Structure 1
């Protein structure tokens, strides 16, 4: 069984998420992979916080 890998979040990916207004399943899996990575940096954590804030505020719709 092959595991699908997702590139980590960067500013362009976050911009695309906010432009579409949707957090997709792939986006959520990407964030989960990042959070499980022990070498995650401050910039990546900041980007995740920005996306999560968008979900909490209702700016982003979570797609299932």
Structure 2
């Protein structure tokens, strides 16, 4: 195999390895973002539950005041 062709193939291989590392990093970032989104979703569910409880308490207080 001519030396120039071998050099080109080695360069292409190096580029592909770099791209693979970049893709792995991006995948890791996406996993982290997904985890953050799940946590935020959990927080929102909790806040929603708290708001429902408060609403229930307010309705009960309103009912007591009416009677």
TM-score by length of 1: 0.28
Bigger radius of gyration among the two: 2
Higher helix share: 2
Q: Which has the higher contact order (CA 8 A, sep 6+)?
A: 1
Higher strand share: 1
